[in-house]
A = this chain, B = another copy of it.
Amino acid sequence: MRGHDWSWLHPVIICVIIAAVAYAMFNFGSVKRLVVGKPMRTRDLRESRNLLVWWMALPVLSADLYSSVAYGPEAGMTELTGLGENAKWLILPITAMTVLLLIILITSYIMGVIAYPNGGGAYAISKDNFQRAWVPLLAASALMVDYVLTVAVSVASGIQNLASSYPVLQGHETSLSLLCVLIILLVNLRGISESSKVFAYPTYVFMACMLLMIGVGFWDELRHGFVQPHTPPFGVVPQGLTLMLLLKAFSSACSALTGVETISNAVPIFREGKNGAIKAYIALGLVTGVTLLGFAYHLYVKGISVNPNNTMLSQLAEGYFGHGFMYQFIMWSTLVVLILAANSTFTGFPQVAALLATDGYLPRALRLRGDRLGYSNGMIVLAALASLLIEIFHAQTNNLIPLYAIGVFVAFTVAQLGLIKRWARVKGRLWRLKAGINAFGAFITALVSVIFAVTKFTSGAWIVLVVIPLMIYLAMKVHRHYQDVADELRIDLKVDRPQQHRIVSVVLVSGIHRVVLDTISFAMSSTPNVLALYIGFDDESIEKMEEKWEAWGNPCRLVTVKSEYRSLLQPLSKFIRRLETYEGGKPDHIQLFIAQFVPKKWWHNLLHNQTSLLIRAWMLRHKDVVVTTVPYHLKK
């Protein structure tokens, strides 16, 4: 064994993990309680809802949108890296366009809040306004794809920022990101209410940091001039710039706009109702716009370049504050807010999944609330998918960005089309104006979606354009299945009543001992027609069994079968076929009694053949046989 490496530890670690998993499986209850916490009552659900004043709800609901300032402008500039110094000024018009789009979106969403003051996501809005099932499904699947991407992008970006300030972490981004997703999942399984005030503070701290940095930037420019030695030229058309490239940069920068929908989904948590939500929207739009523009302007003045090992945010902070406390503080608050953004998705995704599951478009298990009242299954699915993405793309934000934001813009478009239909139907005050705003918004978001799809098609967007239709198709298939089942199971309470059935019972015996005694006793006490079936591997054992049975006083008829292939399943299923086609009258039901050892210690399971499990599973799947398992609890 080589002394200088630790690889011999791997098998030890593997053994420990296997032992832990085995322990957890056999003591699932207590392990789960340790990790997830004490179960909560359903009625606690209502009690845990507390209303927030709008300026507290604002930071709680804005982590997703506002945190994107940490990577949005950088994502745009990454596309233009190849063009050199002369392209750097383009960050200004691109960011301006992004902010314009943000204003349009917020205005449109305010219309949404007015229309659905009880909170309505894109799925609810489109379900309410479109007859065809695929329209809300399009909105929902687009949104779900983007929720998964939000987790992946936010976590990856947070870890990248962290690795910028602590180079020792570089090269471990993927593992750290996966760990981070796992921690967020566990925290959410324990259950943290979306409306918890705890989330307000870090977001405010991060906002304060960003605004402070922008202020310091202007102070710096007042002292050292608005054109500094590093400032790249302005207004030059760089060599190699194409419209395609420009649009691509714009669409990447738009990844900063994901999360706009959060407030509109959560109107009910505002103490002031929809007015609070509108106030929050306006405030959020102002702060985000100022931050994006200011940030872009300082990046330009300082002439900062894209560096995969040092985010632009980190470079700017370094420029102003050096590597001191303030820099650390900004980096850590960025990480916290990015993680809060990922965290907020753990409420959004499971909610949409639960809505779809309730309508029969996704597996029903997604509708169940876990011990801590959250939709645990949805959370687990989200974490698994996000981890898969992080693993595939090696936790590189720039690899993930091309997939990002298309979904959200598709969902925006569908939701606004739904709102237009609603205004036209419901009418009401100023409905033409409202519908007009939404029509304009729908046009712009549709245009942006198309730009996204075209410009980023080859660099990854095709994945999203394949996945979304696939999800719609599968959702339809699932729905079809649930409907078929419902049709099949429906009965007429007046006509279909329980009936008397003729049952033949078969007890599988492996010899004559206490377990067989117990099982036969039970079977004979329960049903009248009991047969014992012995499957032997050779003639001697069969003869011996018949003799012993005789000596035991023939408690019921014994049938013996020889299994030439040493299998129990084959002769058993042959025997059942014979019973099923019995001429003297086929029984309505065949009931199979199987004894099951239950040892005291979990490792003793290894010492007893698990044939009964196998037989039960096989029989249930392949035959119309009722299987009764009679447990025998070993005393030692």
**Which of B363, B503, B630 is in CB contact (< 8 Å) with A607?**
B363
- The chain B residue sitting closest to A8, CB to CB, is B392
Instruction: Annotate A455-499 by CB proximity to B: 1 below 8 A, 0 otherwise.
Output: 000011000000000000000001001101100111101001111
Expressed in whole angstroms, the Cα–Cα distance for A522 and B522 within the complex equals 17
Could you tell me the distance in whole angstroms from the C-beta of A587 to the nearest C-beta in chain B? 10
Show 16 A/B contacts (Cβ-Cβ < 8 Å), sorted by A.
A39-B565, A42-B566, A364-B608, A365-B609, A368-B566, A371-B565, A485-B636, A488-B635, A489-B515, A497-B517, A497-B552, A499-B521, A626-B628, A626-B631, A627-B629, A627-B631
A527 at the interface (CB under 8 A from B): yes
- The chain B residue sitting closest to A628, CB to CB, is B628
A399 at the interface (CB under 8 A from B): yes
* Contact A517 B496, CB 8 Å, known A42-B537, A512-B491, A591-B526: yes
Could you tell me the distance in whole angstroms from the C-beta of A18 to the nearest C-beta in chain B? 11
A222 at the interface (CB under 8 A from B): no
A565 proximity list for chain B (CB < 8 A) = 39-42, 371
Q: Which of A134-142, A410-418, A616-624 lies on the face that meets chain B?
A: A616-624
**A contact set with B: CB distance below 8 Å:** 1-2, 7-8, 10-11, 39-43, 363-365, 368-369, 371, 388, 391-394, 399, 402, 459-460, 478, 481-482, 484-485, 488-491, 493, 496-503, 512-515, 517, 520-522, 524-527, 537-538, 548, 551-553, 555-556, 564-567, 588-589, 591, 596, 598, 604, 606-609, 616, 620-621, 624-631, 633-636
* Contact A626 B636, CB 8 Å, known A499-B521, A552-B493, A555-B498: no
Could you tell me the distance in whole angstroms from the C-beta of A29 to the nearest C-beta in chain B? 9
Counted per complex, copies of this chain come to 2
Could you tell me the distance in whole angstroms from the C-beta of A113 to the nearest C-beta in chain B? 30
Query: Would you call B625 and A626 a contact (CB within 8 A)?
Result: no
Query: Would you call A636 and B488 a contact (CB within 8 A)?
Result: yes
* Contact A526 B525, CB 8 Å, known A496-B517, A604-B481, A631-B626: no
Could you tell me the distance in whole angstroms from the C-beta of A22 to the nearest C-beta in chain B? 14
A10 proximity list for chain B (CB < 8 A) = 391-392
Besides A42-B566, A371-B567, 6 new A-B residue pairs in contact (Cβ under 8 A), listed by A number: A7-B392, A368-B609, A489-B513, A493-B552, A502-B525, A616-B629
Query: Would you call A490 and B503 a contact (CB within 8 A)?
Result: no
Query: Would you call A526 and B524 a contact (CB within 8 A)?
Result: no
Could you tell me the distance in whole angstroms from the C-beta of A499 to the nearest C-beta in chain B? 5
> What are the 3 A-B residue pairs with the smallest beta carbon separation, nearest first?
A489-B513, A501-B525, A628-B628
